[in-house]
Structure 1
Amino acid sequence: MKGSRWRILLYALLLGLVLTLAACGGDDESKSDKSGDKKSGKDGDQIYSIEDFNVETKNEGEAMDGGHLKFGVVTDTAFEGLLNFNFYSGAYDVEFIKWFDESLLSADETHNFTQDGAATFEVDDSGKVFTFTIRDNVNWHDGEPVTAEDWAYAYEVIGHPDYPGVRYGDDFTVIEGMEEYHNGKADSISGIEVVDEKTMKITYKEASPSLLSGGIWSYALPKHVFQDIPIAEMEKSDAVRKEPIGMGPYKVKSITPGEAVVYTKNEDYWQGEPKLDEVTVKVVNPKTVVQALESGEVDTVHEFPTDQYPDNADMSNVEFIGNVDMAYSYIGFKLGTWDKEKKEVKPDPNKKMADVNLRKAMGHAIDNEAVGKQFYNGLRWNATTLIPPSHPDFHDQDNPGIEYNPEQAKKLLDEAGYKDTDGDGMRENPDGEDLVINFASMSGGETAEPVANYYIQSWKKVGLNVQLLDGRLQEFNSFYDRIGQSGDDDPKVDVYAAGWGVATDVNPAGLYGRDALFNFSRYASEENDQLLEQGVSKDAMDLEYRQKVYKEWQELMVEEVPVIPTNYRAKLVPVNKRVLNYSVAHNWGNYYEIAVTQEEPVKAE
């Protein structure tokens, strides 16, 4: 489940052992009658709190038989169209996938695996051997049963040297024999055994708390569909892009590349026949999302731009629900490149941003609390560490992070030798050479450009000449290609602003490990390696030990500054008043239960 929730987002990433919805303000009985109370800010602007939103719809009415739901994915770019959990990489593709495919394992509100999913599991006394059993009534959309061989095949494809996707990482290397198979030294994975048609056994190298909280790859791949396709070509195949099948509540009916997917209900769905007859999922531009919601063009969207909420909080035909997002925004520094052959980070001490004091100074120069209030009306707030508050048992709330202090920024730059030697107001590097820092930032909603400009102006005030890469914001897909999603890091990028959708497991190795492609800063150190290893060790089965490890890791990342967390986020979702049974709880995925009370969406008055 971990890889599926990365939002590159993905993600991607994209949480911990003991997340509680009550701690997020999403499941508190005392708040059940609230839907976004507002408070007055210092300048008269309305400041909102995520604690004041319901986590699920309270719409009333009787569900009709059937109906057609219209769902919007808010983005200013086309979706990539890699419609398979084993191959997708962009955040938006998963919003299309989750309607027709799903995890074999379910999770509870603490993100620990349960026995309620399409597969159950047993763990031996060593904590290293898991035996999974797929339920008999779980079938692919073409009628073929989902088998243990399908599940094992997903591991064989992702672990194969020819695999073109981004999934291979710590979820896989922890399996006995996986690295030998991946390196071409073995024809099979010794730690994976297909016991019978519905039973699979996996032996891990050691017991780890991560295994029970998202560290198991739980997405099968229909072998009867893919087995004749060369692994290197699977990503581009019709089975991924044009005719995907899954085991979820809806089946793909038609695809308009980059724009929309239409689904019909899967009457053979293992949890029961879905309540809706049809679902359309389509791209909706952030600039027109309000119009689309008010007119009934869409019933709901995957996420509403929080910067647009204050002007639309009273939209008459929707109910806004919300939760603390499993994500954070950040600014990253390019500290190396990706070694495609070794599939690991290659730090480069000669990179422009290699000086830790330069990085710290850039952190001290920006006021992220002000960004949250000015641009997001309190629906984003200052981020301090790289484990968000959605992991209350692991987020170090006492760590202040890199605090806003422009004078400290100037002092650090002076001491590190970054001084204005020619009197133009901009600092040169310690060798007296012009210092121009190229900043990559994404296009998107209304705040994308002003936020990027705010950061640039803040850095200018401490004497740093930071310029937008190519003089403009980058389109989503182009942005991630340039910062290294394909493994090729654009050398023009020095600094970038992005976001992580974090995973169900608190383990941050998938984003900051030496072998993580998503480690776009290309940071690596022996101390980081050691702490990440300790966080998933057998000793970490003890909660206090794991808390201590991740407290030290958060401190290390504040000290080393490979990235600066900027804002934690609220996730807001407007839902048309005809829609029943919709939720933004972190462990919710019951799409088959969604229903509508009338044929057409309610339109705004």
Structure 2
Amino acid sequence: MLKKKTVFARSLFIPLMLAFLVVLAACSTNNGNIVNTPSPTDGTEKPAETPTEKPAPDDGLYSIEDFSNVKKNEGEAIKGGSITFGLVSDTPFEGTLNFSFYGSDPDAQVLSWFDEPLLTWDKSYVYTNDGAATYEVSEDGKTFTFTIRDNVNWHDGKPVTAEDWLFAHEVIGDKKYDGLRYDSSFTNIVGMTEYHEGKAKTISGIEVLSEKKLKITYIQSTPSLLTGGVWTYPLAKHIFGNMDVDKISSSPEVREKPIGFGPFKVKSIVPGESVVYEKNTDYWRGEPALDEVVLKVINPTTVVQQLKSGGVDLVDSFPVDQYPDNANLSNLEFLGAIDRAYTYIGFKLGKWDAEAGKVIPDPKAKMGDVNLRKAMWHAVDNDQVGKKFYHGLRWNATTLIPPSHPEYHDSTIKGLAYDPELAKKILDDAGYKMDGKFRTNPDGSELVINFISMTGGDIAEPLAQYYVQSWQAIGLNVQLEMVEFNTFYDRVGSKGKDDPKVDVYQGAWGVGIDVDPSGLYGRDALLNFPRYASDEQDKLLKEGVSEAAFDVKVRQGIYKEWQQLMVNEIPVFPTLYRAIITPVNKRILNFAIGDGTNLYLNQLAVSQDKPFVAE
């Protein structure tokens, strides 16, 4: 689940971690499309369309089943045209605009318009041969031979080569690499560990066969290799080859004039605020229908007005709490899909050892007692949170594999039910005694829990306050701090430094196409922000990518055990699964969200020059 490539299947990095409106895709790395992006993904099946106007249900609750994920085409496409895409955020995008280095969903949204992975996948999340590269696998499943199509070129006209693909692996495997991607999927490459440790000058398991052919040999054949375990983003060696690895992410070539091989080219950037793209006439799938795309950051508080006025044609993340009041806007069609994501409460249980490249659990961590974590889960009513805050378009989450992966999401695991009286009893029995208004630690010392959550739309702080009040109701002294997006992830550890003043945090993950959760919770995963590790989890994660796991039933059993282990151990607990609700101006043609469509960004078109305006 969430490996190292973002999924541009709609939207991500990685990380989706945003508390409510944004998603950290950086973290979400896997391949292809970005969680919540305006880009369609691979696939062949087209869901039945539903009416765009949806009357308010009697109980005030909506269902994602009432939405189509494919926009109805109304009218004929005009030649060319420009659209405006709204990146919904209360903070600027960071501007690390390269898939090898980016660290947040807003940057992934910016990237998705001008760059893409070399491989695509089908509706079952298995790599296909329909992308910018094709592949063959050896009989033992360990060696992949990739062929990049002849007409795949960088925006400066240089061909995308096997050397570029190798170079991306060399940069990520370099000891001085300052990004988030180096983890078990890279160390599974023959010779990568020796290269990373400086014992070898080359990666012995990667061989350039010709300008467009690359061969990669893996130590272990795993089911993940076909569903996200391959790094599919090349890095332009003719641009970055002479730079120090630790200088690449801050270079103008990443931040001011980034390059890709996608359907649009970056024309200009106002850092953190907007990007103007022009069409890439040399795009390998064919010349884009649109002449231009303008991306601009839109504050969550103004997104509805921007949509009504035609100030933006579509947005990456519509605040679902605002849907009921705007469901029947005359100039929009609302699309919906189940998001590959969940929001969660995380507990800090250790530190990140940058030198060793792994999590170091702290047996004395403030949140180290599982009874304390268990009580805090029992104290919150996420079923009602989904209904009251999100009108049913987010709903109670029970495990860390969301229903977007139906083969592996175990609906028989119910998580921990809302039961504040049981929560109090658990704390009483564990020795957390009441001393006036709040409880003390079992040793009698003061217990103050520092909780951070992200700023965002109108409900960001009220929702965080709900959790605080629920925990205070069982006697816990929880102190809330609201933090803007970029600072939030710095403090929880996205750069390898864990703020000792953070005990509990509220985040969200966008998961990748591969169900393997190692990229988020493995011992060697920087994105393992709770800093949790255990021998039992190590065993299960290893088994999940073993030869035996090629049998789907075996793999399902392994990840059922892992889901239950995380319910038992509670390094984090999931709060809500989520629907993507995307409003689209009625002039937009050939657009879809979610997985399982056969539309691509070069097909995106408009039926008239100007957006429709709400009546």
Aligned length: 587
Q: Is the 8 A contact 2:359 2:525 kept in 1?
A: yes
Q: Is the 8 A contact 1:35 1:53 kept in 2?
A: no
Q: Which among 5, 28, 32 is matched to residue 13 of structure 1?
A: 28
Q: Is the 8 A contact 2:154 2:259 kept in 1?
A: yes
Q: Which among 113, 128, 135 is matched to residue 127 of structure 2?
A: 113
- In structure 2, the partner of 1:523 is 532
SS in 2 for 1:185: coil
- In structure 1, the partner of 2:483 is 474
- In structure 1, the partner of 2:579 is 570
Write the distance in 1 (CA, Å) between the matches of 2:237 and 2:351: 35
Q: Which among 588, 598, 603 is matched to residue 608 of structure 2?
A: 598
* Residues 228-286 of structure 1, C-alpha deviations (whole Å, 9 max, x = no match): 11111000101101111110011110000000110110101001000000110111100
* Residues 84-142 of structure 1, C-alpha deviations (whole Å, 9 max, x = no match): 11110011001111111111001111111101000000001000000000000110111
Q: Structure 1 stretches (4+) deviating beyond 2 angstroms?
A: 11-16, 26-41, 585-589
- In structure 1, the partner of 2:5 is 3
SS in 2 for 1:393: coil
- In structure 1, the partner of 2:457 is 445
* Residues 280-334 of structure 1, C-alpha deviations (whole Å, 9 max, x = no match): 0111100000011111111000121111111111111110001000100000000
- In structure 1, the partner of 2:440 is 428
Amino acid at match of 1:599: D
- In structure 1, the partner of 2:39 is none
SS in 2 for 1:293: helix
Structure 1: gaps of 5 or more residues: 17-25
Q: Is the 8 A contact 1:120 1:133 kept in 2?
A: yes
Q: Does 1:247 align with 2:261?
A: yes
Write the distance in 1 (CA, Å) between the matches of 2:185 and 2:164: 18
Q: Is the 8 A contact 1:35 1:52 kept in 2?
A: no
Change (3 A) 1:63 1:400: same
Write the distance in 2 (CA, Å) between the matches of 1:27 and 1:115: 17
For residues 34-73 of structure 1, what are the structure 2 equivalents within 5 Å?
36=54, 38-41=56-59, 46-73=60-87
Amino acid at match of 1:111: Y
SS in 2 for 1:323: strand
Write the distance in 2 (CA, Å) between the matches of 1:143 and 1:35: 45
Q: Which among 87, 91, 97 is matched to residue 77 of structure 1?
A: 91
* Residues 389-440 of structure 1, C-alpha deviations (whole Å, 9 max, x = no match): 11111001000101111111011101110011x3x22111101111110001
* Residues 136-190 of structure 1, C-alpha deviations (whole Å, 9 max, x = no match): 0110111111101111110001111111111111221111111111111111111
Q: Is the 8 A contact 2:164 2:235 kept in 1?
A: yes
Q: Which among 523, 537, 548 is matched to residue 546 of structure 2?
A: 537
Shift of 1:34: 5.8
Q: Is the 8 A contact 1:101 1:248 kept in 2?
A: yes
- In structure 2, the partner of 1:484 is 493
Amino acid at match of 1:593: Q
Q: Does 1:131 align with 2:145?
A: yes
Amino acid at match of 1:4: T
Write the distance in 2 (CA, Å) between the matches of 1:373 and 1:129: 49
Q: Which among 388, 391, 394 is matched to residue 374 of structure 1?
A: 388
Q: Which among 95, 98, 114 is matched to residue 100 of structure 1?
A: 114
Write the distance in 1 (CA, Å) between the matches of 2:543 and 2:385: 35
Change (3 A) 1:529 1:210: same
- In structure 2, the partner of 1:163 is 177
The two structures have a TM-score, normalised by structure 1, of: 0.95
Write the distance in 2 (CA, Å) between the matches of 1:244 and 1:408: 54
Amino acid at match of 1:430: P
Write the distance in 1 (CA, Å) between the matches of 2:29 and 2:578: 14
SS in 2 for 1:439: strand
The two structures have a TM-score, normalised by structure 2, of: 0.94
* Residues 49-75 of structure 1, C-alpha deviations (whole Å, 9 max, x = no match): 111110110131100000001001100
Change (3 A) 1:174 1:587: farther
Change (3 A) 1:591 1:118: same
Q: Which among 503, 507, 517 is matched to residue 498 of structure 1?
A: 507
Amino acid at match of 2:5: G
Amino acid at match of 1:572: I
- In structure 2, the partner of 1:22 is none
Write the distance in 2 (CA, Å) between the matches of 1:568 and 1:560: 20
Q: Does 1:214 align with 2:228?
A: yes
Write the distance in 1 (CA, Å) between the matches of 2:97 and 2:211: 26
Write the distance in 1 (CA, Å) between the matches of 2:513 and 2:285: 23
SS in 2 for 1:48: coil
- In structure 1, the partner of 2:350 is 336
Structure 2: gaps of 5 or more residues: 8-13, 18-23, 32-43
* Residues 491-526 of structure 1, C-alpha deviations (whole Å, 9 max, x = no match): 000000000001110000000000001100000000
Q: Identity over aligned residues, as a percent?
A: 59
Change (3 A) 1:202 1:75: same
For residues 14-413 of structure 1, what are the structure 2 equivalents within 5 Å?
14=29, 32-33=50-51, 36=54, 38-41=56-59, 46-413=60-427
Change (3 A) 1:265 1:31: closer
Q: Is the 8 A contact 2:172 2:179 kept in 1?
A: yes
Write the distance in 2 (CA, Å) between the matches of 1:323 and 1:544: 27
Change (3 A) 1:71 1:31: closer
Stretch moving more, 584-593 or 524-533: 584-593
Q: Does 1:462 align with 2:477?
A: no
Please, what is the CA RMSD of the aligned residues?
Answer: 1.5
Shift of 1:38: 4.0
Write the distance in 2 (CA, Å) between the matches of 1:37 and 1:348: 52
Q: Is the 8 A contact 1:287 1:445 kept in 2?
A: yes
Write the distance in 2 (CA, Å) between the matches of 1:114 and 1:152: 21
